Amino acid sequence: MLDIRQIRENPELVQTKLDLRGAGAYDIQPILALDKQQRELESTRSQLQARSNEIGKLVGEKMRSGTAPNAPEIQTLKDEGNIVKAQLNELEPAERELKAQIITLILQLPNLPSDTTPIGKTEDENIELRKWGDEYIPTNPQILPHWEIGEKLGILNFESSAKIAQSRFVTLIGVGAALERALISFMLDRQIAAGYTEISPPILVNTASMTATGQLPKFAEDGFKCAEDDLWLIPTAEVPVTNLYREQILNSEQLPIHHCAYTPCFRREAGSAGRDTRGLIRLHQFNKIELVKFVHPDTSEQEHEALVQNAEAILQALKLPYRVLELCTGDIGFSAAKCYDLEVWLPSAGKYREISSCSNFKDFQARRGDIRFKETGKKGTQFIHTLNGSGLAVGRTMAAILENYQQPDGTIQVPEVLQSYLGRAVL
């Protein structure tokens, strides 16, 4: 959430940065107008409260000096006091309503892009920073798409899943299920070894939790909500893990905090009609290992780079070719100030596809969730910086393995680092 003081004191700068996300998409003028009204009401209320206090003091002084309680001058003051109280009773709810309207509008504003985020309008203006693993790109011209080879091997079943639920669900069978389990264990083991503390959080969260991380109100149509409860199926473990610290004040000595979590994730993919309708790339239910960091503002940029390296390490261990993109202002996520995407090579498509998005939210989520920290020996508190990234999306990793490790005879070579987890070298 953006700071109302920043909007009020630097409106041109805030509007300029918001326009970098898409000219005309966000307008802070309604917020400024409501803020002006609220502050005028606040000023009037303060003056009335001061007068009310003054009247009470005057009445007390006159009565202590011997003036009778029913004297005309006392009654005049009391009458004025009643009028002032009535005015206060009208102003206070009006001021609360204005504050609520301001918060509602601010919650609809995205984070401001970092000064180092490249300026651009669409994903076509993202910057490719580096590639890795060109030598591992397969040369077999007969590679089948992962869904075809998976169904041929009898390890993926989409048809029965559509009967059980609907399209964009999958059932993993036999070594398909075992491969996913192996990937989850491998990814968690690697991230724990890198210094992350594992979390197994709830996968149902309340509206406050979704709002704190920026999923609500912006992405309500993309979520699955339980009709009779204030509970949502999580779109990512980022939501419950971040909210572990909601409305808390941490000590600076506790920072940085690094967590990793495996969870199922659920998304309607409301804005992706007609895209990736086959395979494991865009499902309504999928598994993911999430990396979440809570860090001091002074170290968040370095922590962000380290987070990307932690995600890259998984792809390198699996020997899957990938590239790293720095997203431009028109393509970064709603809550992100800066973002890097990792894209893995999919031979059947002949292109790289996103497998991890690593974002620095700075204090955006911390303001929404009221997550602060206090430095020893210093007064006051500061908002923490939060970061997160996939380490990795499990289904997309499986898709990349089924294609990049596909052999001419139709078998799948198991990546060396997974063989001990899976207990076999070939699928």
Active site amino acids: 267, 282, 354, 357, 396
CA separation for the pair 2, 298 (Å, rounded): 19
Q: How many CA atoms lie within 13 A of 303 on its CB side?
A: 27
- Helix 300-318 / helix 394-404 crossing angle, nearest 10 deg: 40
Report the relative pairing of strands 248-251 and 371-374 from DSSP bridges: parallel
Residue 185: count other Cβ atoms within 10 Å of its Cβ: 14
Q: How far is it between the farthest Cα atoms of the chain? A: 108
Name the CA radius of gyration of the chain, rounded: 28
Sheet of strand 382-383, all strands in order from the earlier edge strand to the far edge: 248-251, 371-374, 382-383
Please provide residue 413's backbone torsions phi and psi, each rounded to the nearest 5 degrees: -75, 130
H or E element: which one contains 64?
Answer: helix 29-64
Bridge partners (DSSP) listed for residue 340: 326, 358
d(CA 274, CA 280): 14
CA distance 341 to 352: 11
d(CA 287, CA 394): 6
* Sheet architecture: strand order including 127-132: 127-132, 322-326, 338-346, 351-362, 385-393, 285-295, 257-266, 197-199
- H-state helical runs in 319-393: 364-369
* Cα–Cα distance, 177 to 167 (Å, whole number): 19
Query: What does the block give as tokens for 161?
Result: 């899943």
Q: What is the DSSP string of 178-230?
A: HHHHHHHHHHHHHHHHTTPEEE---SEE-HHHHHHHT-TTTTGGGSEE-TTSS
Task: Tell the residue number behind the tokens 């210093």, with chain if given.
Answer: 378
CA distance 224 to 283: 13
